[in-house]
Amino acid sequence: MIRVYTSSVIDASADAVWGVIRDFNALPSWLPIVMESRIEDGQPADKVGCVRAFRMRDGGRLREQLLSLSDYDYQCVYSILESPMPLTNYVATLKLTPVTDGQRAFAEWSAEFDCDPRDERDLARNIGQGVFQLGFDALKQRFGRR
């Protein structure tokens, strides 16, 4: 099993950042590589068990399921159901922690998954830098840097 971990500090309160990312259907509004997203079967975007189907700018299509959502912990956990990436058993956690020194948020995004050993390095880099860090950079830009 591979583990990918990326962290960052965003110059906005955890409440403000959570207000953007807690909506499981909002990826297109803050993750630049996602073009469109919809929640299947008309479910609410914050209902545990709902499935989002989305399309990437490169044409890839994914389906992910919300496994848990905690407004108290500023955390969501989700799994990939379908993906063009050569991986299985993918579970990711996106979590914010308030930074008490100023109105900032410590953001962590991690994932664990299985894949062919030959794909480990590329997948870890693409997910860690091409998705997680890209998302954090977009959030930093959205909220401005101090």
Span 121-138, pLDDT tens digits: 999 999 999 999 999 999
Q: What is the predicted pLDDT for the residue at 146?
A: 52
Q: What is the CATH superfamily name and number for domain 2-143?
A: START domain (3.30.530.20)
5-38 pLDDT, tens digit per residue, is 999 999 999 999 999 999 999 999 999 999 999 9
> Distance (Å, rounded) from C-alpha 51 to C-alpha 38?
8
Q: Tokens for 143, please give them.
A: 């909220």
Q: Tokens for 20, please give them.
A: 């953007």
**Residue 144 pLDDT more than 90?**
no
Q: What is the predicted pLDDT for the residue at 48?
A: 98
**Residue 71 pLDDT more than 90?**
yes
Question: What dihedral angle (degrees, nearest 10) is formed by the CA atoms of 102, 103, 106, 107?
Answer: -160
User: pTM here?
Assistant: 0.94
User: What confidence tier does 44 reach under pLDDT thresholds 50, 70, 90?
Assistant: very high
Q: Tokens for 17, please give them.
A: 């950042």
Domain boundaries, the chain: 2-143
76-124 pLDDT, tens digit per residue, is 999 999 999 999 999 999 999 999 888 899 999 999 999 999 999 999 9
Give the residue from 33, 31, 57, 36 showing the smallest Cα distance to 139.
Answer: 31
Q: What is the predicted pLDDT for the residue at 80?
A: 98
Q: What is the predicted pLDDT for the residue at 145?
A: 62
User: What confidence tier does 61 reach under pLDDT thresholds 50, 70, 90?
Assistant: very high
> Distance (Å, rounded) from C-alpha 20 to C-alpha 7?
17
> Distance (Å, rounded) from C-alpha 115 to C-alpha 89?
9
Rg (CA), the chain: 15
Q: Tokens for 107, please give them.
A: 């953001």
